[in-house]
Amino acid sequence: MERVFLNRSEALLRRYPKLEIEIYFKYDCGGVALIERYSQARKLGDRLRVVKTFDPSRYAAILVVDTPQILVDHPSIQDKAYMECHTAYAKHRTYLQEWQTRLKGLIVPSSGFLRVIEDECPGLRGRVKVVRNFVPRLPEIDRLPSLPAWRAPLFLYFGRIDGHKNLGEFIDGVCSASHNLRKETLGIICGQIDPAYSLMEAIEKSHARGTIAVLPPVPFENAPVILKMMRQKKAVFVSCSTGESFGLSVAEAMTAGLPVILSDIPAHATLVANRAKFLYPLGDVRELARKMAAVAGQYDELAEECLELSREFSEDAFLADWEGVFGEECQAWGEPVARLEAELSSPVKTRATSLGV
């Protein structure tokens, strides 16, 4: 989530030169140090900062991200607060059932996820707004680190690693794709591993030693480097996730020019404009392998198509969505003292974000 909000912050600071951004963590799981380091590196310290207390009286508009505790602690903000839901884990968004009739509105990061939320919470119909996440255009990198002498076909998963991401199916797909392509394939997995998930057990279960390479996790600010390296190697990005609110890693891969094969879930389908060539039915390893082989065989053409699709989650798209929801507030950000405050949390996979002016 920190990646999402830092991307947003930079876009909004560029758009509104008098804007200041404060970030408040109700629970800090390492995000404070990350944002402070990022703000310092980007020379944003005078306009992007972390605060230790949350004073809602300072703000005219407030967003609360997946942490209803804030509404309990500060009931007076309910009439001006938007809840913002980003969690793909259904058990962590059950709070919406209780709050659906009391919220001013709800913001979600994709139209596909909007449909999921409205099905789960009919009381929110008509009050759910989409503010798309976005991926900044990748910076120019003069010199990339070297990778082993891997040869295509390569298949990449880059992102959080846990049971929800369905890595066992990815591994089985890599193994099966070798039969379709009549050559050896290599799957590459890179990301932060949930301690409760055993990746090595999944690899062993599929007898995939030697077919799967596991890279150490990469700090989010270095994601463009690993993705550009994988683009040079003509890797195909594959996500077999069982649920996403947006699919940030997929979006980053497409922006880097990698073609993708994705499980056919609403958020994934939105990213690729429902184009069947990039989607497969969850649980169907045979179809997954067939699609992986097909994309590998048309690499350059489909990479270009994914790059073109990535324009739908550009900075301009985000700003258009943002101003569609916060048009009046945006006008105030041109005043001499304008602020944006954000609150992030927590150690139990819930987050609160308040954005206020």
pLDDT digits (tens, 9 = 90+) for 68-99: 888 899 898 888 788 999 999 999 999 999 99
Between CA 14 and CA 90 the distance in angstroms is: 34
Gyration radius (Cα) of the chain, Å:
21
Kindly tell me the burial class for residue 145, based on how many C-beta atoms sit within 10 Å of its own C-beta (0-12, 13-18, 19 or more).
exposed
Read off the tokens for 108: 């979600």
How many other β-carbons are positioned within 10 Å of the β-carbon of residue 306? 24
Where are any strands of DSSP class E within 1-109? Answer: 19-25, 48-51, 62-65, 81-84, 106-108
Assess whether pLDDT exceeds 60 at residue 336: no
In angstroms, what CA-CA distances link 125 with 86, 107, 128? 17, 12, 6
- Most confident range (mean pLDDT) of 124-138, 179-193, 332-346 is 179-193
Between CA 254 and CA 208 the distance in angstroms is: 27
Between CA 323 and CA 325 the distance in angstroms is: 5
Work out the pLDDT band at 158, boundaries 50, 70, 90: very high
> In percent, how much of the chain has pLDDT > 70?
92
Q: What is the pLDDT of residue 221?
A: 80
Q: What is the pLDDT of residue 47?
A: 85
The residue assigned the tokens 């690499």 is 299
Where are any strands of DSSP class E within 42-135? Answer: 48-51, 62-65, 81-84, 106-108, 128-130
> In percent, how much of the chain has pLDDT > 90?
58
Does 2-134+314-344 match 154-312 in CATH topology?
yes
Q: What is the pLDDT of residue 6?
A: 86
Inter-residue long-range contacts of 183-187, CB under 8 Å, 24+ positions, other chains counted:
183/153, 184/211, 185/153, 185/154, 185/155, 185/211, 186/150, 186/153, 186/154, 186/155, 186/211, 186/212, 186/213, 187/154, 187/155, 187/156, 187/157, 187/211, 187/212, 187/213, 187/238
Helix (H) or strand (E) holding 212: strand 212-215
Q: Where do the structural domains in the chain lie, given as residue ranges? A: 2-134+314-344, 154-312
Distance of CA 240 to the CA centre of its chain: 15
Distance of CA 197 to the CA centre of its chain: 20
Assess whether pLDDT exceeds 60 at residue 355: no
In tens, the pLDDT along 201-224 reads: 999 999 999 999 999 998 888 888
Q: What is the pLDDT of residue 42?
A: 82
Read off the tokens for 81: 């607060």
- At the second CATH level, the architecture of 2-134+314-344 is 3-Layer(aba) Sandwich (3.40)
Q: What is the pLDDT of residue 188?
A: 97
Looking at per-residue confidence, does 178 or 36 come out higher? 178
Q: What is the pLDDT of residue 92?
A: 93
Looking at per-residue confidence, does 233 or 338 come out higher? 233
Work out the pLDDT band at 354, boundaries 50, 70, 90: very low
Work out the pLDDT band at 334, boundaries 50, 70, 90: low
Read off the tokens for 132: 């798309």
In the DSSP assignment, the letter for residue 86 is -
30: three-class secondary structure by DSSP: coil
The residue assigned the tokens 């073109």 is 308
Read off the tokens for 331: 């006008």
Between CA 149 and CA 214 the distance in angstroms is: 15
Work out the pLDDT band at 281, boundaries 50, 70, 90: very high
Superfamily holding 154-312: Glycogen Phosphorylase B; (3.40.50.2000)
Q: What is the pLDDT of residue 3?
A: 83
